[in-house]
């Protein structure tokens, strides 16, 4: 069964039952190479090494990696188990996949839902593998639909609030087709703005040190989509906002949104929210409801992934000679900071709800009640 999940020219995840391929994002933008993911072990490794990344994509690759395994290498073994043992095997594999990265809630939301599907199938003595694979495939399709809804709703929201003749926005990290099953969240809003009556004049995007999701991945997506855009250093954003009043909004993704709207996202997001507030610009979080953690009252409890100090002490690039000569693409880490210096390298930070203008989901655009500093996303979703 082949599912078309591309809502843009780029497709980070390719699923054609029983085969899963992902775009190796460690090699982008200089090489576009798909790699086979045949098992939950392959899926775990691809997520942990960030060959695939982005909150929604992490969940979908995890789910489909186990589907590929159940239809492939583990098919024979699982077929000889009774329903209860097969269900237990699937749950054990899902618990393993849950250890791949800690911050994006989408992974844990997907695992919770998939376990419920399998337990239900086991209770009814149904085909647990078939039920699992169908549920994982449904997540792939749902994410594309969610992102297109986020794009449409977010674009409408920004256009309604835009003043002046020009509309420009800024985004951080990568939240596009490379971070999801297609179209994207924050970058999905930008795609929708660009595609609708060409109402978007320009996009600025930050390099997003130290992993450079912006300079490598968002740059690649915007070039492929031919969206007029300019790359800026993370440290240049405040000066840019001060110099260009037509930048009306900063739009970012999310890895985990708490009930009150506090949002964990790529490191650097918090200071973007501060500068947006100072310069009187909207700060918009784009996130599917699979990124909202309703069990979390605020952002205080969000686990922030710490990555190696090396990412800060060096600058990751590519052996440009081998790139230019068409040779094997090699990533090259050039040491910048002196040996012996310490570094602090959290992969995410938490932006307080007070600094967020709106949370755009596939189910609606949520804003804070007049005079309040926090959202009530539980109530907002319940009121739909
Ligand atoms: C829609 S992707 C959400 C989120 O994921 C990215 O993190 P990473 O590249 O480390 O997986 C970034 O925080 C995006 O905003």
Euclidean distance between CA atoms 215 and 224, whole angstroms? 14
Same domain for 154 and 105, yes or no, is no
Q: Which two tokens stand for residue 6?
A: 């591309």
Atom of ligand 1 nearest to the CA of 186: 1
Domain range for 229 is 145-306+345-382
Q: What is the CATH number of the domain that holds 46?
A: 1.20.120.420
CA 266 to ligand 1 center in whole angstroms: 6
Q: What is the CATH number of the domain that holds 213?
A: 3.40.50.10470
Answer yes or no: 255 catalytic. Answer: yes
Evaluate: CB of 182 within 6 angstroms of ligand 1: no
pLDDT band at 218 (very low <50, low <70, confident <90, very high): very high
Residue 302 within a domain: yes
In the block, which residue shows the tokens 């392959």? 42
| pLDDT digit string, tens, across residues 326-337 | 777 777 888 989
Does the bond joining 210 to the residue before it have cis omega, within 30 degrees of 0? Answer: yes
Same domain for 122 and 156, yes or no, is no
User: Using CA positions, which residue lies closest to atom 6 of ligand 1?
Assistant: 54
Residue 317 within a domain: no
Partners of 251 in the beta sheet?
171, 284
Q: Which residue did the predictor score with more confidence, 163 or 48? A: 48
ipTM for the assembly: 0.97
Residues 6+ apart with CB under 8 A from 59: 104, 106, 107, 109, 110, 139, 290
Active-site residue identified among 42, 109, 143, 255: 255
Q: Does the pLDDT of residue 7 top 70, yes or no?
A: no
Residue 337 within a domain: no
Task: Tell me which of 124, 143, 162 is where a domain ends.
Answer: 143
Same domain for 202 and 65, yes or no, is no
How high is the pLDDT of residue 310? Answer: 83
Number of domains the chain contains: 2
Evaluate: CB of 53 within 6 angstroms of ligand 1: yes
Residue 334 within a domain: no
Euclidean distance between CA atoms 253 and 301, whole angstroms? 19
Evaluate: CB of 287 within 6 angstroms of ligand 1: no
Pocket of ligand 1, candidates 10, 205, 218, 266: which has the most ligand atoms within 8 Å of its Cβ, to mutate?
A: 266
CA 49 to ligand 1 center in whole angstroms: 14
Same domain for 121 and 157, yes or no, is no
User: Using CA positions, which residue lies closest to atom 15 of ligand 1?
Assistant: 253
* Prediction pTM value: 0.95
Q: Does the pLDDT of residue 270 top 70, yes or no?
A: yes
CA 68 to ligand 1 center in whole angstroms: 24
How high is the pLDDT of residue 8? Answer: 65
Q: Which residue did the predictor score with more confidence, 60 or 322? A: 60
Evaluate: CB of 180 within 6 angstroms of ligand 1: yes
Task: Tell me which of 143, 177, 201 is where a domain ends.
Answer: 143
Mean of pLDDT values over 38-51? 98
Q: Which two tokens stand for residue 225?
A: 């989509």
Same domain for 90 and 127, yes or no, is yes
Q: Where are the beta strands (DSSP E) in the chain?
A: 13-16, 19-23, 34-37, 168-171, 202-206, 229-232, 247-252, 256-258, 263-266, 282-286, 292-293, 314-318, 331-335, 348-351, 358-361, 364-366
Same domain for 90 and 160, yes or no, is no
Residues 6+ apart with CB under 8 A from 261: 285, 353, 356, 359, 366, 368, 374, 375, 377
Task: Tell me which of 126, 143, 160 is where a domain ends.
Answer: 143
CA 176 to ligand 1 center in whole angstroms: 9
């Amino acid at each position: 069964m082949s599912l078309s999940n591309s809502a843009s020219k780029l497709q980070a995840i390719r699923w054609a039952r029983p085969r899963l391929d992902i775009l190796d994002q460690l090699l982008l933008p200089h090489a576009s190479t798909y790699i086979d993911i045949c098992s939950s072990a392959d899926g775990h490794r691809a997520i942990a090494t960030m060959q695939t990344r982005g909150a929604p994509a992490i969940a979908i690759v995890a789910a489909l990696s186990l589907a590929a395994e159940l239809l492939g290498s583990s098919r024979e073994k699982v077929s000889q188990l009774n329903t209860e043992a097969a269900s237990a095997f699937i749950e054990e594999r899902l618990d393993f996949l849950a250890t791949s990265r800690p911050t994006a809630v989408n992974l844990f939301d997907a695992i919770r839902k998939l376990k419920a599907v399998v337990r239900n199938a086991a209770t009814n003595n149904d085909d647990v593998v078939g039920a699992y694979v169908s549920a994982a495939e449904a997540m792939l399709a749902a994410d594309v639909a969610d992102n297109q809804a986020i794009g449409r709703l977010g674009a409408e929201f920004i256009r309604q609030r835009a003043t002046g003749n020009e509309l420009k926005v800024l985004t951080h990290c990568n939240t596009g087709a490379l971070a999801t099953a297609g179209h994207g969240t924050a970058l999905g809003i930008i795609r929708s703005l660009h595609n609708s009556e060409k109402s978007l004049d320009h996009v600025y995007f930050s390099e997003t040190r130290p992993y450079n999701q912006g300079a490598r991945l968002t740059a690649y997506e915007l070039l492929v989509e031919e969206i007029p855009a300019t790359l800026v250093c993370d440290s240049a954003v405040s000066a840019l906002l001060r110099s260009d009043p037509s930048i009306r909004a900063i739009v970012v993704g999310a890895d985990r949104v708490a009930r009150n709207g506090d949002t964990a996202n790529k490191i650097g997001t918090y200071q973007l929210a501060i500068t947006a507030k100072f310069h009187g610009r909207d700060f918009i979080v784009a996130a599917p409801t699979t990124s909202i953690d309703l069990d979390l009252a605020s952002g205080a409890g969000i686990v922030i992934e710490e990555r190696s100090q090396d990412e800060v002490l060096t600058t990751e690039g590519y052996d440009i000679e081998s790139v230019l000569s068409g040779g094997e693409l090699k990533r090259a880490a050039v040491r910048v900071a002196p040996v012996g210096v310490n570094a602090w390298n959290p992969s995410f930070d938490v932006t307080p709800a007070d600094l967020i203008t709106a949370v755009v989901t596939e189910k609606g655009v949520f804003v804070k009640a007049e005079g309040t500093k926090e959202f009530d996303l539980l109530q907002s979703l319940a009121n739909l």
